[in-house]
Amino acid sequence: MNYISTRGQMAPMGFQDAVMTGLAPDGGLLLPETLPNVSDQLDRWKDLSYTELAYELMRLFATDIPAEELRQLINDSYATFEHPEVVPSVKVGDLYILELFHGPTLAFKDVALQFLGNLFAYILERRGGKLNILGATSGDTGSAAIHGVRGKPNINIFVMHPAGRTSPLQEKQMTSVLDPNVFNLAVDGTFDDCQSIMKTTFADVPFKTEHSLGSVNSVNWARVLAQTVYYFYSAFRVMKETGAESVQFSVPTGNFGDILAGYLAQRMGLPIRKLILATNENDILSRFFNSGVYGKADVVPTISPSMDIQVASNFERYLYYLVGQDAARLSSMMSGFAELGELAVELNADGQVDDLFAAGRGDTENTLAVIKRYHAEHGYVLDPHTAVGVFVAEELASSDAPTICLATAHPAKFTQAIVDAIGEEVHHPTLDALADAPTRCDSIENDVDAVKQYLVKHI
């Protein structure tokens, strides 16, 4: 399987090269040349364990890794999860909650980043050389990435987060990792600023090459690939339990990476009836799917900080398919968006951007109300991001297929929001152990050159 850029100005490359490249040299995002149709494999796969299913899916894309070595990478990656199913689906009221928070940092990012960290180490061991990872986080990616590569030889990781705009526990999870290969940078700005610095730095190809920069953000194809697995796994489990022939997923999203994985799973043949896209007040994505216009606005701080994003880094991959895989047209659209902060697409005959998607928004008041109601009625505590997904699912889900809501983080990571909603704290021993942990973090100005100088100094 070879990989190409959404912008069409790059020669195809293999899976391992795609993993190490991250952002394409032409500024685009990497995608497989073709998506396999796995419809004829679904019956064979439906009863597999999570790691067995991950192997069957990933081997279609990681064709330059020997089978048994890929299997070992997968087994090692998910041995760190505390639940035997890795990602269980739990019936709560009329919905199923897909719990993606049983990994080391209690967030869905662990599903991809435990695998990606091991993948980086595997490739470097065989090829030699070093890797300097530059990442940007709105909350959970940073800690999951750090825990995926901490202490690994020949790898340094530099993670930018918006100063004061992550939850205190999200920040503590990052800054309390004191391994010498870990560097945390608090940027005076928003997550979009951090993401812009990262993309601008990667676009400087000579600098990227000289300093062996790589990416763990969802621009890295391996992350999206790893996330497609839990759509298949959960759909199989829920369809078996309910006897349904299809499912629908509700996905709280800011960067479009998580829901993109579901979109690709559907294109590969998984019977997904509807993808319900849920945003908070930072609603650029829900506005797009309801109007056809993708336009930037100011970032609004909310109680679901991982979704406080206005420029979704994975959206370009979806647009590539939406415009019929026309790289030239896509490049023109993205250039226009970079200049004007807006792009638009035509609606279809049904007045929709895409009939597969339904999109809505849950604000802070809605989020707190949902957390309170699910705790009172079902004894189940939702984190604020998951609650946004549940709120929008209750508004938009159809009744003709089971609804699976992605639970993207453990509620104990968002103490104040949970207290505000239910009047009491939720705890987790992993987080409680951080209370008195020492931290290390450097403050840095919101400036590309400042970040580059920091990288050069510390590499």
Looking at residue 427, its pLDDT comes to 95
Model confidence at 313, pLDDT cuts 50, 70, 90, reads confident
pLDDT for residue 140 is more than 80: no
Identify whether 130 is a catalytic site residue: no
pLDDT at position 139: 72
| Whether pLDDT at 218 is above 90 | no
Per-residue pLDDT tens digits for 166-193: 888 889 999 999 999 999 999 999 988 9
What is the pLDDT at residue 236? 98
Q: Tell me: pLDDT of 379 over 80.
A: yes
pLDDT in tens, 35-65: 999 999 999 999 999 999 999 999 999 999 9
pLDDT at 217 over 80: no
Which of 46, 109, 130, 240 is labelled catalytic?
109
Query: Can you give the pLDDT at residue 215?
Result: 83
pLDDT at 267: 98
pLDDT over 70 for what percent of the chain? 100
Give the model's pLDDT for residue 181. 96
Question: Domain boundaries in the chain?
Answer: 89-106+222-430
Checking if the pLDDT of 141 tops 90, the result is: no
Digit-coded pLDDT (tens) for 278-305: 999 999 999 999 999 999 999 899 999 8
Higher pLDDT, 24 or 70: 70
Average pLDDT of the residues in 4-13: 97
pLDDT at residue 366 is higher than 80: yes
Give the pLDDT score at 22: 84
pLDDT band at 272 (very low <50, low <70, confident <90, very high): very high
At the topology level, CATH places domain 89-106+222-430 in Rossmann fold (3.40.50)
State the average pLDDT over residues 153-170.
91
Q: Tell whether the model's pLDDT for residue 142 goes beyond 90.
A: no
pLDDT for 328 beyond 90: yes
HEC sequence for the chain: CCEEECCCCCCCECHHHHHHHCCCCCCCCEEECCCCCCHHHHHHHCCCCHHHHHHHHHCCCCCCCCHHHHHHHHHHHHCCCCCCCCCCEEEECCEEEEECCCCCCCECHHHHHHHHHHHHHHHHHHHCCCEEEEEECCCHHHHHHHHHHCCCCCEEEEEEEECCCCCHHHHHHHHCCCCCCEEEEEECCCHHHHHHHHHHHHHCHHHHHHCCEECCCCCCHHHHHHHHHHHHHHHHHHHHHHCCCCEEEEEECCCCHHHHHHHHHHHCCCCEEEEEEEECCCCHHHHHHHHCEEECCCCCCCCCHHHCCCCCCCHHHHHHHHCCCCHHHHHHHHHHHHHHCEEECCCCCCCCCCCCEEEEECCHHHHHHHHHHHHHHHCCCCCHHHHHHHHHHHHHCCCCCCEEEEECECHHHCHHHHHHHHCCCCCCHHHHCCCCCCCCCEEECCCHHHHHHHHHHHC
What integer pLDDT is reported at residue 205 of this predicted model? 87
